[in-house]
Amino acid sequence: MKVVILEDAAAVAHYGADIFREQLGKKPASVFGLATGSTPLSLYRELIRSNQQGDISFAQVQSFNLDEYMDLAPDHPQSYRHFMNREFFDHIDIDPARTHVPPGNAPNPLTACDEYETAIAAAGGIDIQLLGIGRNGHIGFNEPTSCLSSRTRVKTLTRETIEDNARFFSADEHQPQLSITMGIGTIMEAKLVVLLATGASKAEAIRAMVEGPVAAWCPASALQMHPSTVVIVDEEAASGLTNPGFFKHIEEQNQALLARLKAQG
């Protein structure tokens, strides 16, 4: 697990976006796992700008989103499909037919989960999986005590997650209690995982993920076992780590090595 500590949220977004830009340069037909929420928005805006400037293209890309609320139509303003269209897909040159979000309103959600797994496999697997992290350590809607080898499935949201997301729903609006989410096992099969976190509210979750035991009470801790995970955080999100200076030193040395290799051609 590589931990990168940067000054602020803007630097986190830029660093993360560079990973996607580099991947598109190497493999234009990449498969991306995408996330919703406030954390990845700045990263998406960077990628939109790069796409509109002609620096990168999503024309051959396929995408698979992590999760979706149950019982919300794709055009519902709080659905994750609507979020992705509004915040990202509608602003880039991606083929809408190649963007996939779990169908929260599927007649048979259990069958839909199996079909989502099949679609990911048929695409060749996910090249980069983008993640955020919840205050309780959840990734996707894999809440504490989730099975660390789980696959895409229906999950009940915890009270904490429901409260965290309540700000997106009006007082008289139905707020879903169930979701469809990629499983932890599904996430772990991505070739590269990029997790972003900003703000002091994520500090304890980051500490548990990086320094704690691999345990179901912190689903993100499973990423300790992933062969290629990059955790990109700002100073506040890193404030719970025992020795953040160590990770900063590692990144400084990594960047120095990369610069030297680039200079050598």
> What confidence tens digit (pLDDT) does each residue in 219-253 have?
999 999 999 999 999 999 999 999 999 999 999 99
DSSP string, 70-126: TT--TTSTTSHHHHHHHHTGGGS---GGGEE---TT-SSHHHHHHHHHHHHHHTT--
> What confidence tens digit (pLDDT) does each residue in 132-160 have?
999 999 999 999 999 999 999 999 988 88
**Domain containing 147 — which CATH number?**
3.40.50.1360
Instruction: Note down the domain range covering 214.
Output: 2-264
* Domains identified in the chain, total number: 1
Buried b (16+ CB within 10 A) or exposed e, 66-103: bbbbbebeeebebbbbbbbbeebbebbebeeebbbbbb
Give the pLDDT of residue 185. 98
> What confidence tens digit (pLDDT) does each residue in 44-90 have?
999 999 999 999 999 999 999 999 999 999 999 999 999 999 999 99
Give the pLDDT of residue 165. 79
Catalytic residue among 46, 143, 189, 234: 143
Catalytic residue among 100, 136, 189, 234: 136
- pLDDT above 80 (res 265): no
Catalytic residue among 67, 68, 127, 189: 67
Whether 235 is a known active-site residue: answer: no
- Closest-CA residue to 164 (of 36, 2, 3): 36
Q: What is the mean pLDDT of residues 187-205?
A: 98
Whether 138 is a known active-site residue: answer: yes
Whether 136 is a known active-site residue: answer: yes
pTM of the model: 0.94
Q: 163 with 247: CB under 8 angstroms?
A: no
**pLDDT category of residue 172 using cuts at 50, 70 and 90:** confident
